[in-house]
Structure 1
Amino acid sequence: MSSNNWHSGKTQIFWTCKALIDGRTISHKTEIREVRGWRLGSIIHRLKAELHWPILVEYRGPDNIAHYWLSKDAIVSELRFPQSAKALGVKGDAAQ
């Protein structure tokens, strides 16, 4: 997979990966507030479909807002990362 095929900003992709490996539950509203992004659903789809991240989703509230989190069974060191978030997969860098 080429990073050129991602239509989301590199900051948004990095933020999404970091938030998930940090154990956060994130939604589109969280992404807008923190990184002014609009592509969370697309990023999640690509992480799941192309990189096989075990991301779970729950739709909440009357508007069925998607909330995403990484499965507790996920082993971060075994995840494949998109180019813009490769540093997160290097031991010791995820906490930065």
Structure 2
Amino acid sequence: MPKSSDRWFSSPTQVYWCCRALLDGRSISHRTEIREVKGWRLAAICHRLKAEYGWPILSEPRGPDNTAYYRLRPGFDRKALRFPPSAQALAEEGEA
């Protein structure tokens, strides 16, 4: 059973999707997450990846509603990233 500090209030699928999208060089928004994985916690996922796992995530407001778009800082070191449990397979991909 995971410790409460290990629990995310987003499904593991959403966390994996977010990590994958960012690693693929995409700039993603809440609307993208809703469309692709029926999720609704992108800001929380990105915040936790940045605060607890040290991911170099940038946020850029766009459009009249200042919609946040998230992406990884250019030139980041993938080998230095720490991955949440649900995205650990992505860490192993990067080692291949």
What is the rounded CA distance, in whole Å, between the counterparts of 1:37 and 1:91 in structure 2? 24
Q: Which amino acid aligns with 1:77?
A: K
2:19 matched residue in structure 1: 17
* CA-to-aligned-CA distance 1:41-85 (integer Å, 9 cap, x gap): 000000000001000110011111000000112111210000000
Higher RCO (C-alpha 8 Å, min separation 6): 1
What is the rounded CA distance, in whole Å, between the counterparts of 1:26 and 1:93 in structure 2? 25
What is the rounded CA distance, in whole Å, between the counterparts of 2:46 and 2:80 in structure 1? 17
What is the rounded CA distance, in whole Å, between the counterparts of 2:20 and 2:95 in structure 1? 10
**Structure with the largest fraction of helix:** 2
Normalised TM-score (structure 1): 0.90
Q: Which amino acid aligns with 2:19?
A: C
What is the rounded CA distance, in whole Å, between the counterparts of 2:94 and 2:75 in structure 1? 20
What's the Cα RMSD here?
2.0
User: In the TM superposition, what are the counterparts of 1:1-96 in structure 2 within 5 Å?
Assistant: 2=3, 4-92=6-94
TM-aligned CA deviation for residue 93 of structure 1: 7.5
Taking only the aligned residue pairs, the percentage that are identical comes to 59
What is the rounded CA distance, in whole Å, between the counterparts of 2:95 and 2:38 in structure 1? 24
The count of corresponding residues between Structure 1 and Structure 2 is 94
Normalised TM-score (structure 2): 0.90
Q: Any unmatched runs of 5+ in structure 1?
A: none
